[in-house]
Amino acid sequence: MATETFFALESFFMNQQFYVVTDGSAIGNPGPGGWAAVLVNGRMQWEISGACSWTTISEMELMAAIQALRSIPAGSKVNLCSDSDYLIRGMKYLTTRWRNQGWRNRRGLPLQHQGLWRELIQVEKEVHIRWTWVRGHSGHRLQARADALAYAEARQRLLALQHAA
């Protein structure tokens, strides 16, 4: 029965349109970090989030996008919004160049966060995506929510680390 329900939901969401807003946070940068995404499909809205003990904001921005796209059925149309210029510019303009340069930057140095970029490229292939930059802390309701969730995850991880010490 559970499998039938899963396939019914999967076929319902197939070729659906999703609006996704992601954000990442790190306290200390590097330090404890969190990522979050707010996903909208029609009238349905839900949130996902997670944390890491030692990370950077850039890593959490990438992880938020990866986890959001993993949670959306293949074949769906997605408008993914982020306040991370690093994420949006990377996916829109730079990944092809990085691949052609052997995952090296313009100075010939190995690209930072290469594993996360490769993973993001793989999950991106499963959906039809539009990458959109939104200004952070500008009153965008869903971006503010993703920001608050990501920071809460980072803060919770920091408190857990302090308690364990």
113 a catalytic residue: no
| Cα angle 74, 77, 82; round to 5 | 105
126 tagged catalytic: no
* Catalytic-labelled residue, pool 61, 90, 124, 153: 61
The active-site residue out of 42, 137, 139, 163 is 137
- Which of 33, 34, 124, 147 does the annotation list as catalytic? 147
Q: Is 119 a catalytic residue?
A: no
Using an 8 Å Cβ cutoff, are 25 and 158 in contact? Answer: no
What is the SS3 assignment for 141?
helix
The answer to whether 85 is a known catalytic residue is: no
Handedness of CA 28, 118, 110, 136 (dihedral sign): negative
- Is 23 a residue of the active site? yes
Q: Among 33, 59, 83, 153, which one carries the catalytic annotation?
A: 83
Identify the active-site residue in 23, 59, 124, 153. 23
CA dist 76 and 115 (Å) reads 24
Whether residue 140 lies in the annotated active site: no
Active site residues: 23-24, 61, 83, 137, 147
